[in-house]
Amino acid sequence: MAHMIDDTTIEYVGILAQLELDQTEKEAAKNDMGRMLDYIDKLNELDTDGVEPMSHVFPVHNVFREDVVENGDDRENILKNAPERKDGAFKVPKTVE
């Protein structure tokens, strides 16, 4: 089934996508959109009975882990090479007056 995309549809899509198309580009876009819709119709002919819907082709599992502190408070070691420190923190020159 060939889908006919008219100028009004292309102009509306152009407005939504903030595109400025000349007449040649409009014709090409109409043909492209028609072919895409034809392909979707072809896909709709597939027998999908018994096929479980999915969002990915491959199984996807949650890869997050519990956020556990492993190195603890290593403040003294971190500040060991600081040129200057004050109250357990790096001391830096004032940058804002």
Q: Is residue 52 part of a domain?
A: no
Q: Which domain holds residue 21?
A: 7-44
Full pLDDT tens readout for the chain, 97 residues: 567 788 888 888 888 888 888 889 888 988 998 999 999 999 888 898 988 888 888 887 888 888 888 877 888 888 998 999 999 889 998 888 7
DSSP 41-75: HHHHTS--TTPPP-S-SS-----------SS---H
Q: Is residue 95 part of a domain?
A: no
Q: What is the pLDDT of residue 24?
A: 92
Q: Is residue 28 part of a domain?
A: yes
Q: Is residue 23 part of a domain?
A: yes
- Here the contacts of 67-73 (C-beta below 8 Å, separation 24 or greater) are none
Q: What is the pLDDT of residue 11?
A: 86
Residues written for the chain:
97
* Beta carbons of 88 and 80 less than 8 angstroms apart: no
Tally of domains in the chain: 1
Tally of CA atoms within 13 A in the half-sphere of 63 that contains its CB: 2
Q: What is the dihedral of CA 86, 92, 93, 96, to 10 degrees?
A: -100
For 65, the token pair is 């882990």
